[in-house]
Amino acid sequence: MRAKAKLYPKEAARLLREKPGVREAVTGATLHFERNRLRAYGEVSIGAWRERAKAVKDHVLSHLDHYLELAERRLRENGVQVHWAETLEDAHRVLREVVQRHGVRRAVKAKSMLTEELGVNPLLESLGVEVYETDLGEYLIQLLGEPPSHIVGPAIHLSLEEIQRLFHERFGTPLDAPPEALAQVARKVLREAFLTAELGISGANFLVAETGTLALMENEGNIRLSTSLPKVHVAFVGIEKLLPRFQDLALFLPLTARAATGQRLATFVSLIQGPAREGEEGPEEVHVVLVDNGRTALLADPEAWETLRCLRCGACLNACPVYRQTGGHPYGYVYSGPIGAVLDPGLLSLEEAYPLPYASSLCGACLEACPVLIPIPKLLLTWRHRAVAEGLTPSWEKAAMKAFRKVMESPALYRLFSKALRGLPLPQDLLPLLRAWTEGRGPLKPSPKPFHELWKEVERGG
């Protein structure tokens, strides 16, 4: 996927002006996720769980070469074909080869952020493969030709009415068809795809090094079907997805479920060991593609490497008051919200992801939510410091900050400016800096009295 992160603030403002329904849908859905997460965290010793999960991930990441080699060995012993992809092009080569060797005409896909990152769907389409996203939310946005808006709920920005209209146009269902009826229509289309596809594509939540086990979580059953029915299964796995021991799944599967949706465990967990054995049904071939695509660079970053602990649960998105206003689309890359704001500059480059570290009020809700304690607020500041050091911030901002500092250091100057700003009838819509605010909002109304005068009154009164 090509990053369009540069347009972030403009796209966010445009979305809020032109599609106010998105804010309502995203806020509703994320608050629902957030309530469930809080309840689920409250049921267990969540502090100890998170510390332990962080420790396991830090262990894996600090021994990553060892665990990658161990995982590769175990996967091969299990009959899995292992590929390494340093770049997007490497990953494409592996997939193209599989498609051509098996004459694949139709593929079913489980929801996976990494395959979004790698642009798997456009590649398959260019090879003449009919590709079906099988997660219901992913299927909806595939029909609309949109990227996912959320890591866990890709279609949370769509209202029921929009989906009813989409299905009416595509499948002729009534405009007021209830969600159950729409789901049945999708089930029918996708069931046919499951039964006829030659290739199943997935990501992985975890790859256990000790046993070579792929672990995948879901609620619909589409991942189980995508990895069971077609004769070939290709799993794309980021190199940071490793866990050392099989027993670590006993922490990470429930922790991820609680963080993501507030469940004790995802409704379906697939623990995949390899291709079907003698006399069994299941895929004849299983391929695992270990993907770097920027991850080793992030690992080498002395400050930002902690981002690689991420489980892709989406909890920080649900907790974020900034993300909630727009959903993921304006961020312009696969990973949005707080984690996107610190992961995207690491995976792409700061220049390409530039304004994203500013898409936060630094309130810290993301850190409160994170199941593996990624210090997102601190990392947002790290990336902002770097943006200033690399000269990415606009020159007016530097001048403004300099002037701001002068004013803030002198009480006399501060009073003068504060008085001037309150007293002058500002032509707000003419000032370029203020126009970004006044577009779509009412004019700024300064308080008649400055804070320090109000405070004096309070002190005198009290």
Partner 1 sequence: MEARTRILARVRRALKERPKALLPEHPHTPLAEDPVDLLLRRLEENGAEAMKLPREEAKAFAQRLAEGLPGATFGKTLPQDLRPPLPELPPEEAPLGVSWALFAVAETGSVALSSEEGRRVHLLPPTHLVFVEAGRVYGSLLEALQDLQSLPSALGLHSGPSKSADIGQVMVKGVHGPGRLIVAVLL
Q: Per CB under 8 A, which of residues 224..263 are in contact with partner 1?
A: 224-225, 227-229, 239, 244-251, 253-254, 263
Q: How far is the CB of 389 from partner 1 (least distance, A)?
A: 22
75 vs 359 by CB, closer to partner 1: 75
Alpha-carbon distance of 64 to 321, in angstroms, equals: 34
Q: Is the backbone of residue 293 left (phi > 0), alpha (psi -120 to 50) or beta?
A: left
Instruction: Examine residue 403 and tell whether it contacts partner 1 (CB under 8 A).
Output: no
Is residue 15 within 8 Å of 326, Cβ to Cβ? yes
Alpha-carbon distance of 289 to 296, in angstroms, equals: 15
Binding mask 84-113 for partner 1 (x = CB under 8 A): xxxx--x-----------------------
Which among 273, 285, 282 has a CA at the least distance from the CA of 204?
273
Q: Considering only residues 145, 180, 427, 459, which one is a binding residue for partner 1 as defined by CB under 8 A?
A: 180
Q: Considering only residues 100, 126, 267, 410, which one is a binding residue for partner 1 as defined by CB under 8 A?
A: 267
Alpha-carbon distance of 212 to 271, in angstroms, equals: 10
Q: How far is the CB of 93 from partner 1 (least distance, A)?
A: 10
Instruction: Examine residue 275 and tell whether it contacts partner 1 (CB under 8 A).
Output: yes
Which among 252, 345, 287 has a CA at the least distance from the CA of 79?
287
Q: How far is the CB of 243 from partner 1 (least distance, A)?
A: 10
Q: Is the backbone of residue 238 left (phi > 0), alpha (psi -120 to 50) or beta?
A: beta
Q: Which of residues 183-212 bind partner 1 (CB under 8 A)?
A: 183, 186-187, 190-191, 194-195, 211
What is the residue-wise DSSP string for 68-126? Answer: HHHHHHHHHHTTPEEEEESSHHHHHHHHHHHHHHHT--EEEE---HHHHHHTHHHHHHH
Instruction: Examine residue 269 and tell whether it contacts partner 1 (CB under 8 A).
Output: yes
User: Total residues contacting partner 1 (rule CB under 8 A)?
Assistant: 92
Is residue 439 within 8 Å of 13, Cβ to Cβ? yes
Q: How far is the CB of 370 from partner 1 (least distance, A)?
A: 17
Tally the C-alpha atoms within 13 A of residue 52's C-alpha that lie toward its C-beta. 12
Alpha-carbon distance of 162 to 158, in angstroms, equals: 6
Binding mask 139-158 for partner 1 (x = CB under 8 A): -x------------xxxx-x
49 vs 333 by CB, closer to partner 1: 49
336 vs 418 by CB, closer to partner 1: 336
Stretch binding partner 1 (CB under 8 A), from 7-15, 58-66, 95-103, 338-346: 58-66
Q: Considering only residues 28, 174, 440, 443, which one is a binding residue for partner 1 as defined by CB under 8 A?
A: 28
19 CB-contact burial (10 Å; exposed 0-12 / middle 13-18 / buried 19+): middle
124 vs 190 by CB, closer to partner 1: 190
Stretch binding partner 1 (CB under 8 A), from 125-133, 135-143, 335-343, 421-429: 135-143
Q: Which of residues 277-316 bind partner 1 (CB under 8 A)?
A: 277, 280-282, 290, 292, 296-297, 299-300, 305
Q: How far is the CB of 233 from partner 1 (least distance, A)?
A: 10
211 vs 418 by CB, closer to partner 1: 211
End-to-end CA distance of the chain: 60
- Mark 37-63 as b/e (b = at least 16 C-beta within 10 Å): bbebbeeeebeebbebbbebbbebbee
Instruction: Examine residue 276 and tell whether it contacts partner 1 (CB under 8 A).
Output: yes
Instruction: Examine residue 68 and tell whether it contacts partner 1 (CB under 8 A).
Output: yes
Q: How far is the CB of 270 from partner 1 (least distance, A)?
A: 6
Instruction: Examine residue 414 and tell whether it contacts partner 1 (CB under 8 A).
Output: no
Q: How far is the CB of 229 from partner 1 (least distance, A)?
A: 7
What is the residue-wise DSSP string for 196-235? Answer: H-SEEEE--SEEETTTTEEEEEESSSHHHHHTTSSSEEEE
